[in-house]
Amino acid sequence: MAFKSGLGYLVTSAQIAVAAAPDNIFAVTGTVIVTALWSVIAVESGANACNWQYQPTAGTANQPMCATGDINVGVIGDIVCITETAGARTLTTGGAVGMLTPCYFILPPGNISFDGAAADGELVHNVLYIPISAGARILLAP
């Protein structure tokens, strides 16, 4: 975990196959602000509408962090991130340039999951965060 001045701590996953169900990628302990959440395509996918979801330890499970976006337009090395237009957050594949519009999330303890419509493709996931509560952090999910 590396600290990036002005952005927070960076956690990066290994290359992970997209699952056809919510797949816990990051575990949140304590309360944090997520300043950026993006993925890099490692293995291309066919038609596959994906999104990020949050599963708090307490409260309503599987809360969408963005609307689904199809990652099939991406090639190896392309960036997949959450963009916001007119108040709507969507998962977007933006080619070699990821457009990160300010889209911060305040998260209590729980899991950040990546949800694919099909088990197709592989991504490397990244999150930048700032701890709010004492001892809060984001780790790779077991």
Looking at the predicted structure, is the pLDDT value of residue 94 above 80?
A: no
73 close to 97: Cβ distance less than 8 angstroms:
no
Class of domain 2-140: mainly beta
Query: What is the spatial distance between Cα 70 and Cα 49, in angstroms, rounded to a whole number?
Result: 4
pLDDT at site 95: 76
Cβ contacts of 136 within 8 Å, gap of 6 or more: 28, 29, 30, 31, 32
Look at the block and give the residue holding tokens 């038609």.
47
Tens of pLDDT, residue by residue over 35-69, are 999 999 999 999 999 999 999 999 887 899 999 99
Distance CA 78, CA 40 (A): 6
What tokens were used for 41? 């395509």
Q: What percent of the chain has pLDDT over 90?
A: 73
Structure-token match 């780790």, residue found: 139
pTM: 0.92
Residue 61: its pLDDT value, please? 79
Please give the mean pLDDT across all residues of the chain.
Answer: 92
pLDDT for res 128: 95
> pLDDT at position 107, please?
96
Tell me which residue has tokens 């602000």: 33
Percentage of the chain surpassing pLDDT 70? 99
Residue whose entry in the numeric block shows the structure tokens 């957050």:
89
Per-residue pLDDT tens digits for 74-90: 999 999 999 887 778 88
CA distance 8 to 132: 11
Cα–Cα dist 85/106, whole Å: 20
The string of pLDDT tens digits covering residues 16-43 is: 999 999 999 999 999 999 999 999 999 9
- Where along the chain do its domains lie? 2-140
Sorted by sequence, the CB contacts under 8 Å of residue 122 that are 6+ apart come out as 15, 16, 17, 18, 41, 42, 43
Highest-confidence segment of 1-10, 29-38, 95-104 = 29-38
